[in-house]
A and B are shown apart, each in its own frame.
Chain A
Amino acid sequence: MCKFAVEHINLMIITMARPIKETPILYGEDARRFEERMREHRHISAEEKARIQANYEALKATANF
């Protein structure tokens, strides 16, 4: 078993809260739907993009990293 898996299992044993779920591999129709959506792209308005950018800049300016 790889080191990461061992550490993750150990962490699951010692932690109390629900462990963070692993992202599953997609098969069949789920995989096809995912790839189709990757090609399509969702339309995001200029206003929403501007808001995202503004929120990012405001928060990054005072971040400690």
Chain B
Amino acid sequence: MVDQDIKAQYRIYKLGDNEQVKSFDCGDVDLNDFILNDAFLYRKEKLAVTYVYMNKDNSDDIAAFFCLANDRISLADFETKTRYNRFSRRFANPKRLKSYPAAKIGRFGVSATMKGKKIGSILIDFIKNFFLVDNKTGCRFITVDAYAEAVPFYVKNGFVPLNNDDINERTRLLYFDLKDLETY
């Protein structure tokens, strides 16, 4: 199945408050657990919204999903976290912190039967432009809490690791600067 066939057959659907995915398998137990059991809890608590890429004629056929949440990237004017904490304890309203608005891809999974068909990259392209074009409040970066094995996929799509603190962890934080997409 090529790109055009997939786009003709599937659509992006934003899950509502009471909607829950009944069946999905991307080959990862934790990701499956998220979409089947946890996604609606994040939605209910208004912490994140989940979108599915589903067959137009069969809502049980989910090719992929992604979950989006508000985020920010903050930079402290201190060399270490310890120095920052010491400073912020002394002053009630520390000003030495810069924050940039971001949107986070909390979880992202492609169905095992649809892997290798570029669905992941198509959806990443959608998310990038979604926040660039449809942006209602200001959003400079897309961040992602990526599973370690998916890091090469995000790097290929222009994401950069935030730092190296989580290099040996199960998930890594990466970001994409939406300003990179603007023409200069």
Contact with B along A27-41 (1 / 0, CB 8 A): 110110011011001
Determine the distance from Cα of A28 to Cα of B96 in the docked complex, in whole angstroms.
13
- Whether A26 contacts B163 in the complex (CB less than 8 A), given A53-B129, A56-B126, comes out as yes
Chain B contributes a number of interface residues (CB within 8 A of A) equal to 62
Tell me if B114 counts as interface (CB < 8 A to partner A): no
Q: How far is the CB of A36 from chain B (nearest CB, A)?
A: 11
Measured in the bound complex, the distance between the Cα atoms of B184 and A42 in whole Å is 11
Q: With a CB–CB cut-off of 8 A, which chain B residues contact A44?
A: 158, 180-181
> For A24, what are the chain B residues with a Cβ–Cβ distance below 8 Å?
162-163, 165, 173
Secondary structure at the B interface, as helix, strand, loop or mixed, is: mixed
Chain A 42-65, CB-CB to B under 8 Å as 1, else 0, gives: 101000010111011011101111
Q: Would you give the 0/1 interface string for A6-21, flagging 1 where the beta carbon is closer than 8 Å to chain B?
A: 0110110011111011
Q: A14 with B79: in contact, given A41-B180, A63-B11 (CB under 8 Å)? A: no
B residues apposed to A, CB below 8 Å: 7, 11-14, 30-31, 33-34, 37-38, 41-42, 45, 47-48, 56, 67, 69, 71-81, 83-84, 97, 102, 104, 106-107, 122-123, 125-126, 128-130, 133, 143, 145, 158, 160, 162-163, 165-166, 170-171, 173, 177, 179-181, 183-184
A residues near B (Cβ < 8 Å) are 7-8, 10-11, 14-18, 20-21, 23-28, 30-31, 34-35, 37-38, 41-42, 44, 49, 51-53, 55-56, 58-60, 62-65
